[in-house]
Amino acid sequence: MQELTDLALGSGQPAYRGQQLFDAVYRQKIERLDQVSTLPLEYRARLVEQGWEVGLPRIARKFISNDGTVRYLVELADGETVETVWMPEGDGGESGDGSEAGDEIDARIDAERVSWRRATICVSSQVGCAVNCKFCFTALLGVKRNLESGEIVGQIAAVLREQGVEPPLQRVNIVFMGMGEPFLNYDNFMKSVRLLAEGVGIPESRMTVSTAGIVPRIHDFGQEPLRPKLAISLNGSNDALRTEVMPLNRKWNLEELMKAAREFPLRARERLTFEYVLLADVNDAPEQAREVVELVRGIRAKINLIALNPGTELPYRTPEQERVMAFQRILVAAGIPTFVRRPRGRDIFAACGQLKRTVEVAPTSDSKSTLSS
Ligand code: SAH
């Protein structure tokens, strides 16, 4: 925003032209500079002459799941692609976080216009990922590059335009849980948070960022005046197990991670989320649930359990439902709010960890996909 204001001032225009440009791109979601009707024609022409370009990333493909989830393949200016997921009924892990409070009102407002009450957009922060978690598909891609803040916001703006949704009128949650590790692209991630809050009209209280456990950034994040909620991918109940599934645990082990979590300054009524991907016969035993209880003791936390979304290239299996429930019961009995996350868009490879560019197995048109996993 400040940058656009500076741009306007720098070319002898009043400061409010910056705001007009911003609104045109992020609120009206225009595609070309000459469409910014609030700007004088000559200024539009001058910006174009100077080589400025605006617009949103292009939605190259979309896949619609039978549960309503839509996976978008979003193409960036340099031709790289990332994935952005639209989940019409939410469940970016927000159950139990208190964000249901306004639902009744939202439902009344929304009922007249749309069929969903609480949509969640899952957004990518990098092209690929460098973290190398053994159960995650994105890891198989390696990391290509960081996304710019405008590319992070652009994914969201492109999906909002596609869905015909306008925050803050309609309620949208954002989860930074797509491809990439947001805390390894920290500055651009935080900048996108500010753009979304100030420009697009999505308050940071409706955003959650998930980290694999980049400890120094967890500390920095706690100091941010304006920040989303924090989720930490735990996935192992002791160091041996966590290192096996998340090699980054060698760099920042559970002691350091849990210390950062304990010191994290939570706001009133806020809870820290721990995500735990259950891998059959690897980390899903009752004994491991009890270890998790000890780990999070003293932290105002909630736990999201995610049964592995299976994939052929991964050496793990999805646990039986009963095993998942047993794990949950132990945590709940210890007083920890624990939720089992519903898998979303499994049939289109849109579920967590599946955001790999599976174009080779996907249909070539923009039509509905009925791929089975
Ligand atoms: N890099 C960030 C955000 C992306 S992953 C992080 O690691 O937190 C978002 C969540 O999906 C993480 O909690 C991760 O543990 C989970 N996940 C990854 N692969 C999965 C899979 N195959 N099945 C189920 N959940 C998975």
User: What does the block give as tokens for 73?
Assistant: 């393949």
190: Cβ below 6 Å to ligand 1? no
pLDDT-derived band at 117 (thresholds 50, 70, 90) equals low
Per the annotation, the verdict on 133 as an active-site residue is no
Highest mean pLDDT among 58-62, 109-113, 275-279: 275-279
In single-letter form, the type of residue at position 306 comes to I
pLDDT for position 91: 55
Cα of 270 vs centre of ligand 1, distance in Å, is 22
94: Cβ below 6 Å to ligand 1? no
Which of 325, 255, 231 shows the shortest CA–CA distance to 284?
Answer: 325
- Concatenated DSSP letters of 68-126: S-EEEEEE-TTS-EEEEEEETT--SS-TTSSTTTTHHHHHHHHHTT-S-SSEEEE--SE
Strand partners, 58: 75
Question: How far is it, in rounded angstroms, from Cα 218 to Cα 238?
Answer: 20
Question: How far is it, in rounded angstroms, from Cα 274 to Cα 272?
Answer: 7
Question: How far is it, in rounded angstroms, from Cα 48 to Cα 73?
Answer: 28
Which is catalytic among the residues 122, 129, 133, 352? 352
Q: Which residue has the higher pLDDT, 127 or 34?
A: 127
State the pairing for strand pair 119-122/126-128: unpaired
pLDDT for position 245: 97
Q: Quote the DSSP letter at residue 341.
A: P
pLDDT-derived band at 98 (thresholds 50, 70, 90) equals very low
Q: Which residue has the higher pLDDT, 100 or 249?
A: 249
Q: Which atom of ligand 1 is nearest to the CA of 316?
A: 22
Q: Where are the beta strands (DSSP E) in the chain?
A: 58-64, 70-75, 81-87, 119-122, 126-128, 143-146, 172-176, 207-211, 229-233, 272-278, 301-307, 338-340
211: Cβ below 6 Å to ligand 1? yes
Helix (H, G, I), strand (E, B) or coil at 359: helix
309: Cβ below 6 Å to ligand 1? yes
User: What does the block give as tokens for 363?
Assistant: 């249909």
Q: How many helices (H) and strands (E) does the chain have?
A: 11, 12
Question: How many percent of the chain have pLDDT more than 70?
Answer: 87
User: What does the block give as tokens for 45?
Assistant: 């022409």
CB proximity list for 371: less than 8 A, separation 6 or greater: 63, 347, 348, 349, 361, 362, 363
Which is catalytic among the residues 31, 49, 83, 313? 83
Question: How far is it, in rounded angstroms, from Cα 274 to Cα 210?
Answer: 9
Q: Where are the beta strands (DSSP E) in 192-314?
A: 207-211, 229-233, 272-278, 301-307
Question: How far is it, in rounded angstroms, from Cα 84 to Cα 70?
Answer: 8
Per the annotation, the verdict on 224 as an active-site residue is no
Question: How many percent of the chain have pLDDT more than 90?
Answer: 60
User: Nearest 5°: CA angle at 189, between 341 and 147?
Assistant: 100
Q: pLDDT tens-digit profile of 307-357?
A: 998 777 788 999 999 999 999 999 999 999 999 998 888 887 777 767 664
Q: pLDDT tens-digit profile of 55-65?
A: 788 999 999 98
Question: How far is it, in rounded angstroms, from Cα 342 to Cα 53?
Answer: 40
Are the C-beta atoms of residues 355 and 346 closer than 8 Å to each other? no
pLDDT-derived band at 9 (thresholds 50, 70, 90) equals confident
pLDDT-derived band at 167 (thresholds 50, 70, 90) equals confident
